[in-house]
Amino acid sequence: MDDSQSNGMWREPSHSDIDFQVNACTLASMDPRQQGQNTIGKAKRVRAILYTAMEDAPAAASKFVAGLLAKIRASGGFRPASPNYVGREAVENAKAAFASEGFTLGDDGSLAPKLLDALSGVELTDALRIYAARAQKGAEDAALVAGTGKDLMEATAAHALLTLNGSYPQGANFEGLLGMAFVALGITAAAMPVQPGESGVKAMERGLFTAAVGVNRLRNKQGTGHGRPWLPTVSDEEIKAAIEIVGAVSAYMLAKLARKARSR
């Protein structure tokens, strides 16, 4: 989003192009230029919008990024022969930034979630951790693992069992798979009887298991993996809570898996 090229020419996208994307995503209240700062540069302007929107309106921020990327791509920003080309270093920096959030940015500017089916071992652990962190912030697309249709908790449980035991029962239902993963990770599952004088941590872990099973029941499992992965009767506030539970349970399993790995 540099304001100009080395030859002094203005580089697209223009401020007008940014106006269009900002208004399309209803982010005008977070836009310094539309709040009176007319002399702000394009890079600082976009950074300021995203800094606020990523916290206060993450869905709109995602739409804004997608729109900007599409405009930069259409303007030749990813094409080396174009006068609007952003440069190899900028492209590589952007690819690294998106990768750290679980996305793959192509050389041509195309953006897609990482397909976790192609990953394994430490690389898969890191990718699942990114998904879990995004789910904890309420990112709806983080609730399902890209390209697999699996619930993030299901994918994390399977990965934990595969890492610790070398295999996992692919035909197991969600509750059974999660229970096996909890046991393997040393986490208390709901079915485990309460012991006299046990710590509050065990009660918390049983609660996590029960909540995870409840969230899984809210899943729309009849679809093709496209569109909203929730039953139509689930409200927005229930969906947000469900996604955050997905993130919390997955992150907890991954933390326990990391501890197990260190103790081996």
**Looking at the structure, do residues 211 and 181 belong to the same domain, yes or no?**
yes
Domain boundary residue, one of 65, 82, 113: 113
Q: Which of 132-146, 150-164, 171-185, 236-250 has the lowest mean pLDDT?
A: 132-146
Q: What is the pLDDT of residue 225?
A: 46
pTM value? 0.70
Is 232 a member of any domain?
A: yes
Residue 9 counted as domain residue: no
- Are 216 and 144 in contact, with CB atoms under 8 Å apart? no
User: Do 160 and 83 sit in the same domain of this protein?
Assistant: no
Selected residue with higher pLDDT from 2 and 90: 90
Residue 2 lies in a domain: no
Judge whether 78 lies within some domain.
yes
Please tell me the total count of domains within the chain. 2
Q: In terms of domains, do 246 and 133 share one?
A: yes
Q: Look up the domain containing 194 and give its range.
A: 117-263
- Calculate the dihedral angle through the C-alpha atoms of 224, 225, 226, 230, rounding to the nearest 10 degrees: 110
Q: Give the pairing type, strands 103-105 and 111-113.
A: antiparallel
CA 35 from chain center: how many Å?
30
Residues 124, 251 share a domain:
yes
Dist. CA 102–CA 127, nearest whole Å:
6
Highest mean pLDDT among 34-43, 71-80, 93-102: 71-80
Highest mean pLDDT among 58-67, 80-89, 174-183: 174-183
Lowest mean pLDDT among 74-83, 184-193, 200-209, 212-221: 212-221
Give the residue from 80, 113, 146 where a domain finishes: 113
pLDDT digits 0-9 by tens, 140-174: 766 666 555 578 899 999 999 999 999 999 889 99
Residues 55 and 139 in one domain: no
Q: What is the pLDDT of residue 34?
A: 87
Residue 207 is assigned to a structural domain of this protein = yes
Domain boundary, last residue among 52, 86, 113: 113
Whether residue 139 sits in one domain with residue 242:
yes
* Closest of 217, 223, 215, 208 to residue 240, by C-alpha: 215
For residue 5, tell me if it sits in a domain.
Answer: no
Which residue did the predictor score with more confidence, 1 or 259? 259
> Both 128 and 253 in a single domain?
yes
Q: 77 and 138 in one domain?
A: no
pLDDT top residue among 146 and 124: 124
98 and 52 in a common domain: yes
- Residue 6: inside a domain, yes or no? no
Average pLDDT, integer, range 126-146: 78
| 168 and 195 both lie in a single domain | yes
How does DSSP assign 127-169, residue by residue? HHHHHHHHHHTT-GGGSB-TTT--BHHHHHHHHHHHHHHS---
